[in-house]
Amino acid sequence: MSVSVGVLGVARIVQSALLEPAADLDGVEVTAIAAREHGRAVAFAREHGIPRALRSYDEIVDDPAVDAVYVPTPAALHGHWTRRAIAAGKHVLCEKPFTANAEEAEAITELAESSGLVVMEAFHSRYHPMWTRMSRLIDSGVLGRLGTARAEFTVPHADTTDIRWQPDLGGGALMDLGCYPVRLLRHLFGEPEVTGAQIRDIDGVDASTTAQLTFAGGVSGEVVADMGPGDGHAAELHVRGSAGTLHVRMPYHPYLYGELTLTTESGVVVEQGDPRTTYSFQLEAFRDAVIDGGPNPTDAREATATMRVIDAIYRAGGLRPRTPLVP
């Protein structure tokens, strides 16, 4: 059996997140694509060997030859197209963040769980072995009593015409970048309480966000997301305990120079990230969930929990959560 995937849009992420891993993975075929402008879909399909370029997203969702829909649209539209795909009986792989806000995510969770379909947030980092390794180290007690954890993702985006700078489309540093460190700290320490947030607001868009979180057991967490103009790039995790520290470089894309450093009284242990891409691990998991009922650790319920934290950070920083769009 092979899963036939239809794609909603020609976003840059489509190639690395779907086309490249699908080319090396049995059981997944990208068979159709649509775009807001049909000519772009035709050109993209021709360039990448996709058999069919359909005229609209609705045609993709309603096509009986499509088993699953990949949703790489702007974040404010994720909920609409995920809902449409579920209603049409399609499995869904939806880019992160899962929806515009937690309320929308909760509604989609109800639909997803009653449908029997696989609805997966495309939180690719979660599927890489480095995340399992980090979790096992934290749980092992090797760091002693856990004290602080700081996760950062900084990528400058100077082009203010980019969708990241458009609040109506779900833009903002927290939505685009901050969802990664939020999800990582949740993965390692459980559900947090948001105790504060500082947001640099530019025309209703958070150019940068720093948030303080408290986890069970007294762990103090900090999330940093920054897309403001500048030269600095950072993707880091720092965890400090009474008996040691854990530092991870590139925890969100461990295959790109990812490195884990554990420092304790016993010495320093350095481990490199598996070179296989996070997207490859993710697509394999999606295929297995669809075909064999395999595990779905980034399902709609899990994605909703992340959106609750994102909403709480926005409120703590003086901004409203993002609003869904209906095309």
Give the three-class secondary structure for 275: coil
Q: How is the beta sheet containing 28-34 ordered, strand by strand?
A: 52-53, 28-34, 3-8, 68-71, 91-94, 119-121
3-state secondary structure of 294: coil
Q: How far is CA 52 from the centre of its chain?
A: 27
Q: Can you say whether the dihedral through the CA atoms of 262, 267, 268, 271 is positive or negative?
A: negative
**Closest to 224 in 3D by CA, of 154, 164, 170, 172:** 154
Greatest CA separation for the chain: 62
Instruction: Catalogue the active-site residues.
Output: 96
Q: Please name which of 274, 216, 219 lies closest in space to residue 242, comparing C-alpha atoms.
A: 219
- State in Å, rounded, how far the first CA of the chain is from the last one: 34
Exposure of 199 by Cβ count < 10 A (0-12 exposed, 13-18 middle, 19+ buried)?
buried
Whether residue 97 has a cis bond before it, omega within 30° of 0: yes
Q: How many whole angstroms separate alpha carbon 166 and alpha carbon 227?
A: 13
Q: Which of 319, 99, 325, 75 is nearest to 206 (CA)?
A: 319
Query: Are the CB atoms for 76 and 97 separated by under 8 Å?
Result: no
